[in-house]
Amino acid sequence: MNGNSSQNNESSVSTLSNYTHPSETSIDKANTNDQESGKDISVGKYGVLKMIQSSKNVLYNTEFVRVKNIKTNLADKSVWIRGRLHTSYARGKQCFMIVRQQQWSIQVLAVVSDTISKQFVKFCSNITKESVVDIKGKVARTPSKIGSCSQKDVELYIEELWVVSQSADQLPLLLEDAYRPVNGDDKDADIRANLDTKLDNRAIDLRTPANQAIFRLEAVVCKFFREILTAKGFVEIFPPRIKNAVTGNGTNVFKISYFKGSAYLAQCPTFHNIIAIAGDFERVFTIGPVFRPEDSNSHRHLTEFTNLNLEMTFKHHYHEVVDVIASLFTSIFKGLRENYQSEIKTICEQYSVEPFKFLDPPLKLEFPMAVNMLRENGVEMGDEDDLSIPNEKLLGRLVKAKYDTDFYILDKFPLAIRSFETMPDPDSKVGSNSYDMFMRGEEVLTGGQRIHDYHYLMKRAKHCQVDIEKFAYYLDAFRYGCPPLAGGGIGLERVVMLYLGLDNIRIASMFPRDSKRLTP
Amino acid sequence: MNGNSSQNNESSVSTLSNYTHPSETSIDKANTNDQESGKDISVGKYGVLKMIQSSKNVLYNTEFVRVKNIKTNLADKSVWIRGRLHTSYARGKQCFMIVRQQQWSIQVLAVVSDTISKQFVKFCSNITKESVVDIKGKVARTPSKIGSCSQKDVELYIEELWVVSQSADQLPLLLEDAYRPVNGDDKDADIRANLDTKLDNRAIDLRTPANQAIFRLEAVVCKFFREILTAKGFVEIFPPRIKNAVTGNGTNVFKISYFKGSAYLAQCPTFHNIIAIAGDFERVFTIGPVFRPEDSNSHRHLTEFTNLNLEMTFKHHYHEVVDVIASLFTSIFKGLRENYQSEIKTICEQYSVEPFKFLDPPLKLEFPMAVNMLRENGVEMGDEDDLSIPNEKLLGRLVKAKYDTDFYILDKFPLAIRSFETMPDPDSKVGSNSYDMFMRGEEVLTGGQRIHDYHYLMKRAKHCQVDIEKFAYYLDAFRYGCPPLAGGGIGLERVVMLYLGLDNIRIASMFPRDSKRLTP
């Protein structure tokens, strides 16, 4: 988050005057009475803390600093940090530790001395990796830059160490394997953790720098979406995910037991957003989960994903809406490029990819032009055929080669392959006023002008064999006047995956769901 | 939205120089050839537009102004508006119309004259209520203030009128009935629309000023939640709503058919947010739907509602988290009071309520104190009993009488009535480090310190007879170190309902779901 939006409950260093760690009342004494090497001069300076249970009888007033804020200006001052033991190794009378706090890390040294006992140093070297520790240490400039830490110019000389939460001995996933570069040397391939192992152990895997960055960027894409649209007068609404009916043949939807009957999970919130427009909200958006029983191992399908949906009235032509969406994407891409280079760089260290290219304003093609481009490259397809996934990708490559953009809009999809509420193109026999948008050759948005005329909508619904009774809740919304409107739905995880050039959507979903995965 | 955040695609008035309505190409001529009164001098100035279908052959370049921006400084200028025909009545050679645009409205006069034909005026008087119309009119100062419109000092003298979308003749819900004051005269009780009629016809009902305001405020509460937490370093995450297992006996959860097996809908996202904390995100929040099969006609339960959930690490005491949540609520209350009085006033015109009172910082009571207050008022209950809904409300009244606040925090709930992950209070035999927060005597947040120690959590899980295998995804997250943490979940619709003092949560849910309602 640009390194400065995090305002945790550590105070600034200037107020760090009075460290009192609750050692007297809460140490597990058994851990500090290692007598094998004689009297322990460090008693009361290290050990395993009793579980922090918020007792009123424990006086806790230690103040902590953030690792990222420990710089040379703090040299010779003592500070407390709470972080994870990332690695440690003992050599003679010394123990070198790296303590990690999210994507930041610092080296900590425990050296036997007048004030630090052998027992203390041994205790340090025996702490399990990934344990949460409180450390008091004196800040020192390093003789040379430390390559393996984010804080390269400073290290800590230990004064106290308390284990807050112990990790188990054996980690099912080593952090260094979890973030080993995917496109790195082949020699790493056999020790690099595979995706399922990482997902199975997500509580560990999320701690990698790349994951810390990916899910911050996901939040940021969502934040841009919301802020840009709110500034344009859109209102966020919260339409239901439980529905009485869905379009299609029933195989493309999850069914719920609903009291004595049944119901369905929303594949998208579009219809309710449209009803809100018929209800005069003029511009609405929705952020939330949608559900589709994709029974596949596709790299780009999940059974649950986050849908960013928007719907708005227009005055004369649905391209007014396309322009709003186009500028939304451009603003998001610019916002990421201009403000989140540090996160993008971190992610690229694990998943090396090409930077995302886009035009401003974006390229807009019409479907028949795309068909022609594909035909010129040997693809056989009819005028009313949908794009297959391979053809979609091929088209993306052709567009990239010709226009040098990873983002484009494809307008005027054939009516035959769009849903019944789509407005036909009055200037074409087979087209419709509908569009998809693509990133790196994969679809990230589907949308269109929605039919707002009740009688015409009924005609189209009957033509498309829609169950009029089940969809009365939608169709009836148009009986009492509705302005012209258009909109679309964006897959959040796809946008993140494709902006970053990741090769699997599960990497961009914190807890992905597919036909085989229901945990964690 | 403060009246100025809406930036629709109407341009400012200064650019309105060149009105060209697409009448030549798109009028339904049949509607303008009313010959009964002789030659029509207004031909080409009114009629029913062809369905706006975004044809490239129709030259649309009319520019519109917002009704709310039509003020006396525009006197004698001609403007175009698109709005709904709210009411019309004809008297002799005149037709008085009110045209509505969301919560704004203006009077429009059609008067037979040298340029306005009888046929045109008759056409105006025959347009069905709620139709969407484009009107060109000359702005005039009114001789006296118009009570029934938001624009009280100006009216429009009609020049052109085109029907964009016709409403059906018979409305199942009259707008004036939909927004008749609920606490008004008893004489209105029989013509006031009941809640089910309103919900069944939500596309009409949403057009009332109160509903336009309620759902804008709902978006605003959500916006405050998000902005306040983001500024404090929280990251928004998108945990799954499909789960492999849920706590409880299975009657409190919706079951889904999931490929060849089954799964469940999330009652809350807490466990996944906690896993994100174990994964070092430190501070996370989530906004999204949760699902509970509440089979009741309760005024405050829905089967699907929007949950605002947050989880964060703390250093020493879970009250660090309680303080963050307390200040979150106070900031939201202040934000509403200071910036949204116009919306609140509009809502109060339909649902008259007392202003919401709160203390800063909020009042915090402990559960045993609440039990004592209730006992002093004749309630019999045990130390480990939960609050019944009537007792919860009584407590709210007692707290209001004693402390003059509609918001308070109740800390230290009995361990026996909280879920297994709740940290027991080390200073009490029956208490726990958990809390609820209340608005007008009803619970809006439940939260607590979560056990972060793996071994202790396993002990508590076994004690509470949790299915260890099904919850392995959660329990295992604590094996590899986890800092102390606490959090809570807020019901968005409840916050809106109770802040405004509405008497039914369905009023604060755009498309409510309960055991009997699956549409619209």
Q: Does B127 touch chain A (CB under 8 A)?
A: no
Yes or no, beta carbons of B480 and A57 under 8 Å apart: no
Q: Does A102 touch chain B (CB under 8 A)?
A: yes
> How many contacts, defined by CB atoms under 8 Å, are there between A and B?
358
Average pLDDT score over residue span A299-327: 97
> pLDDT by residue (tens digit) across A265-310?
999 999 999 999 999 999 999 999 999 998 777 899 999 999 999 9
- Kindly indicate the confidence band of residue B150, based on its pLDDT and cuts at 50, 70 and 90: very high
Asked, as a colleague might, if the bond just before B269 is cis with ω within 30 of 0, I would say no
Listed residue (B70, B44, B63) closest to B156, CA to CA? B70
Listed residue (B238, B130, B242, B415) closest to A291, CA to CA? B242
The pLDDT value given to residue B26: 40
> pLDDT by residue (tens digit) across B20-50?
444 433 434 444 444 455 789 999 999 999 9
Yes or no, beta carbons of B520 and A473 under 8 Å apart: yes
Asked, as a colleague might, if the bond just before B426 is cis with ω within 30 of 0, I would say no
Q: What percent of chain A has pLDDT over 70?
A: 90
B residues 328..387 contacting A (CB < 8 A): none
Distance CA B459, CA B420 (A): 9
- Kindly indicate the confidence band of residue A183, based on its pLDDT and cuts at 50, 70 and 90: low
Distance CA B76, CA B64 (A): 16
Burial class (CB in 10 A: 0-12, 13-18, 19+), B465: exposed
The pLDDT value given to residue B7: 42
What is the sign of the dihedral through the CA atoms of A509, A515, A517 and A518?
A: positive
The residues, any chain, with a CB within 8 Å of residue A213's CB and separated by 6 or more, are A103, A342, A343, A344, A346, A347
The pLDDT value given to residue B353: 80
Distance CA A451, CA B159 (A): 29
Distance CA B488, CA A67 (A): 27
- Counting every residue written for chain B, the total comes to 520
Distance CA A59, CA A75 (A): 28
- Looking at chain A, the number of H-run helices and the number of E-run strands are 14, 17
The pLDDT value given to residue A292: 94
- Kindly indicate the confidence band of residue B184, based on its pLDDT and cuts at 50, 70 and 90: low
Q: Does B64 touch chain A (CB under 8 A)?
A: yes
What is the layout of strands, in order, in the sheet containing B442-450?
Answer: B235-236, B283-291, B304-313, B485-491, B442-450, B434-439, B407-411, B363-366
Distance from first CA to last CA of chain B, Å, rounded?
A: 26
> pLDDT by residue (tens digit) across A196-209?
999 999 999 999 99
Angle formed at CA A117 by CA A114 and CA A119, multiple of 5 degrees: 175
Q: How many CA atoms lie within 13 A of A327 on its CB side?
A: 9
- Counting every residue written for chain A, the total comes to 520
The residues, any chain, with a CB within 8 Å of residue B500's CB and separated by 6 or more, are B214, B217, B344, B347, B351, B353, B356, B508
Q: Does B278 touch chain A (CB under 8 A)?
A: yes
In this complex, the residue of A233, A473, A512 whose CB is nearest that of residue B6 is: A233
Q: How many CA atoms lie within 13 A of A245 on its CB side?
A: 16
Of B86 and A26, more confident: B86
> pLDDT by residue (tens digit) across A484-514?
999 999 999 999 999 999 999 999 999 999 9
Q: Does A164 touch chain B (CB under 8 A)?
A: yes
- Report the 10 Å Cβ neighbour count for B364: 18
Average pLDDT score over residue span A81-91: 96
Q: Is the pLDDT of residue B484 over 70?
A: yes
Q: Is the pLDDT of residue A61 over 80?
A: no
Q: Which chain B residue has the Cα nearest residue A1?
A: B233
Yes or no, beta carbons of A204 and B279 under 8 Å apart: yes
The residues, any chain, with a CB within 8 Å of residue B345's CB and separated by 6 or more, are none
Q: Is the pLDDT of residue A479 over 60?
A: yes
| H or E element in which residue B489 lies | strand B485-491
Distance CA B267, CA B290 (A): 5
Q: Which of A13-22, A178-187, A454-463, B163-172 is the least confident region?
A: A13-22
Helices A492-500 and A209-231 cross at an angle (nearest 10°) of 120
CA distance to A275, B82, B100, B274, per residue, from B65 (Å): 24, 8, 13, 49
B367-371, Cβ contacts within 8 angstroms, sequence gap of 24 or more: B367/B410, B367/B411, B367/B412, B367/B413, B367/B414, B367/B431, B368/B412, B368/B431, B370/B395, B370/B410
- Mean pLDDT rounded to a whole number for chain A: 91
Angle formed at CA B497 by CA B492 and CA B499, multiple of 5 degrees: 95
Residue pair B234/B310 in contact by the 8 Å Cβ criterion: yes
Q: Tokens for A244?
A: 């009485």
Listed residue (B70, B205, B496, B181) closest to A280, CA to CA? B205
> pLDDT by residue (tens digit) across A374-413?
999 999 999 999 999 999 999 999 999 999 999 999 999 9
- Report the 10 Å Cβ neighbour count for A170: 8
ipTM for the predicted complex:
0.93
Q: Does A59 touch chain B (CB under 8 A)?
A: no
Of B294 and B505, more confident: B505
- Kindly indicate the confidence band of residue A187, based on its pLDDT and cuts at 50, 70 and 90: low
Q: Tokens for A47?
A: 């050990």
Angle formed at CA B301 by CA B296 and CA B305, multiple of 5 degrees: 130
- Kindly indicate the confidence band of residue A12, based on its pLDDT and cuts at 50, 70 and 90: very low
Q: Tokens for B353?
A: 């309520």
- Kindly indicate the confidence band of residue A249, based on its pLDDT and cuts at 50, 70 and 90: low
Q: Is the pLDDT of residue B355 over 90?
A: yes
State the amino acid at position B121 in one-letter form: V
Distance CA A5, CA A282 (A): 34
DSSP letter at A497 equals H
> pLDDT by residue (tens digit) across B261-298?
999 999 999 999 999 999 999 999 999 999 999 877 78
Q: Which of A230-234, A251-255, A314-318, B99-103 is the least confident region?
A: A251-255
Q: Which of A11-15, A345-349, B432-436 is the least confident region?
A: A11-15
Mutate to test the interface with A, among B307, B313, B315 (most CBs of A within 10 A): B315
Q: Does A104 touch chain B (CB under 8 A)?
A: no
Q: The pTM is what? A: 0.92
Distance CA B43, CA A99 (A): 81
How far is Cα of residue B169 from the mean position of the Cα atoms in its chain?
30
Q: Is B481 left (phi over 0), alpha (psi -120 to 50) or beta?
A: left
Q: Is the pLDDT of residue B190 over 80?
A: no
The residues, any chain, with a CB within 8 Å of residue A489's CB and separated by 6 or more, are A268, A269, A270, A290, A307, A308, A309, A310, A445, A446, A447
The pLDDT value given to residue B19: 35
Listed residue (A219, A308, A238) closest to B496, CA to CA? A238
